[in-house]
């Protein structure tokens, strides 16, 4: 469960129940005076017990520990309120923090999903099965809000905050130039593809993601520490693969759309997905939600590139290829 990555730097593998992600990589920097925990796991007992066990093994005193949350998703932020002591500093993106301030964030997403074709009778089921709804912190702690280029210092680690919108609008990576380490959160994963979804037409999540990949492409480093799965070293090669993947997916969206006019839910149903189900009807409702969000992200990207147009003259938004 515990792995030493570098001097004073450890990884705790936190199991994520009922999630295709399998585990979260929680990174711990332990120093004589102060500690830093980067990401925490779901707010559920399985994650809580794993974190408690790992931190006890490392002899971490939580009253001498601060936290850095790379982005708002519950598998990264869920436990922070339970773990943090009264004197803990919790570093968190100013942009992602705005989402927690919105009392109607889920209502907005539900309405947006409905106008994009998600079946009305499945909306509440999708909400209650969404990990962000089930496993988010029950109370919001006080955040120390951070922005692009801010510096977090802990021991001899000097972590530069790099704003990398895409996976979420406020996603932040951490880069230590001297130690040549990048904590990539969910911005860059090695053996799975980060999920890019869109639940607002004002945000071109996939375009932002592509730009954020370019932003970190030339960083000199020796190792990338992602939020899930395998640690890796060849940043440029992985970024090239991710960019190609999304361009291939955009082409697939165009093929599914063809010469017809379709909504995002129907387009998602015609795309290929790495899930153990034979047909779309067998997908769990939460996976249909994620698939629809990803389809919207690619549709918005294609719209911004001038390849398709959005039709808003009826209750359900549809898309069609430009001829």
pLDDT at 155: 96
Q: What is the mean pLDDT of the chain?
A: 94
pLDDT at 127 over 90: no
DSSP sequence for 82-143 = HH--TT--EEEEHHHHHHHH-TTHHHHHHHHHHHTT--GGGHHHHHHT-HHHHSS-SSPPPP
pLDDT at 123: 87
Q: β-pairing, 223-226 with 308-311?
A: unpaired
**Ranges 126-130, 215-219, 229-233, 294-298: which has the least confidence:** 126-130
Domains and CATH numbers, the chain: 2-245 (3.60.15.10)
pLDDT at 103: 59
The per-residue pLDDT for range 212-252, each reduced to its tens digit, is 999 999 999 999 999 999 999 999 999 999 999 999 999 99
pLDDT at 235: 98
pLDDT at 163: 98
pLDDT at 75: 96
Whole-number Å distance between alpha carbons of 231 and 226: 6
**Mutual angle of helices 205-216 and 235-257, in 10-degree steps:** 160
Token pair of 44 as six digits: 């559920």
The per-residue pLDDT for range 11-36, each reduced to its tens digit, is 999 999 988 899 999 999 999 999 99
Nearest to 91 by CA among 38, 21, 28, 158: 38
pLDDT band for 134, please (50, 70, 90 cuts).
confident
pLDDT at 105 over 80: no
Core vs surface per residue 76-110: b (16+ CB within 10 A) or e: bbbbbbbbbeeebbbbbbbbbbebeeeeeeeeebb
DSSP sequence for 22-85 = -EEEEEEEE-SS-EEEE----SSHHHHHHHHHHHHHTT--GGGEEEEESSS-HHHHTTHHHH--
Token pair of 310 as six digits: 């959005």
Whole-number Å distance between alpha carbons of 38 and 16: 16
pLDDT at 138: 81
Percent of the chain scored above 70 by pLDDT?
98
The per-residue pLDDT for range 157-175, each reduced to its tens digit, is 999 999 999 999 999 999 9
Q: Can you give the pTM of this predicted structure? A: 0.95
pLDDT band for 106, please (50, 70, 90 cuts).
confident
pLDDT at 140: 82
pLDDT at 312: 87
Core vs surface per residue 170-205: b (16+ CB within 10 A) or e: bbbbbbbeebebbbbbbbbbbeeebbbbbbebebbb
pLDDT band for 60, please (50, 70, 90 cuts).
very high
The DSSP bridge partners found for residue 168 are none
pLDDT at 278 over 90: no
Cβ pair 150, 158 in contact under 8 A: no
Higher per-residue confidence, 191 vs 105: 191
Average pLDDT over residues 87-111: 85
Q: Which residues contact 107 (CB under 8 A, 6 or more apart)?
A: none
């Amino acid at each position: 469960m515990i792995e030493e990555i570098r001097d004073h730097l450890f990884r705790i593998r936190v199991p994520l129940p009922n999630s295709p992600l399998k585990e979260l990589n929680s990174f711990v920097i332990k120093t004589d005076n102060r500690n830093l925990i980067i990401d925490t796991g779901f707010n559920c007992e399985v994650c809580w017990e794993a974190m408690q066990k790992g931190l006890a093994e490392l002899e971490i005193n939580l009253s001498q520990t601060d936290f850095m949350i790379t982005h708002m998703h519950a598998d990264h932020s869920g436990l922070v309120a339970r773990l943090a002591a009264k004197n803990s500093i919790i570093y968190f993106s100013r942009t992602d923090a705005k989402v927690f301030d919105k009392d109607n964030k889920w209502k907005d997403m539900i309405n947006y999903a409905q106008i994009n074709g998600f079946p009305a009778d499945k909306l509440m089921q999708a909400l209650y099965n969404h990990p962000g709804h089930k496993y988010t912190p029950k109370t919001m702690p006080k955040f120390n809000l951070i922005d692009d280029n801010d510096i977090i210092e802990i021991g001899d680690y000097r972590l530069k905050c790099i704003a990398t919108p895409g996976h979420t609008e406020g996603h932040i990576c951490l880069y230590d130039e001297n130690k040549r380490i990048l904590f990539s959160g969910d911005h860059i994963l090695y053996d799975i593809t980060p999920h890019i979804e869109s639940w607002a037409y004002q945000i071109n999540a996939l375009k932002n993601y592509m730009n954020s990949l370019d932003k970190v492409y030339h960083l000199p480093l020796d190792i990338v520490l992602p939020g899930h799965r395998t640690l890796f070293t060849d940043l440029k090669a992985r970024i090239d693969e991710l960019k190609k993947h999304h361009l291939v997916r955009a082409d697939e969206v165009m093929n599914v759309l063809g010469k017809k006019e379709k909504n995002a839910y129907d387009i998602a149903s015609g795309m290929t997905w790495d899930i153990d189900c034979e047909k779309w009807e067998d997908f769990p409702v939460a996976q249909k939600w994620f698939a629809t969000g990803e389809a919207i992200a690619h549709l918005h990207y294609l719209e911004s590139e001038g390849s398709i147009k959005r039709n808003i003259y009826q209750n359900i938004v549809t898309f069609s290829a430009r001829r």
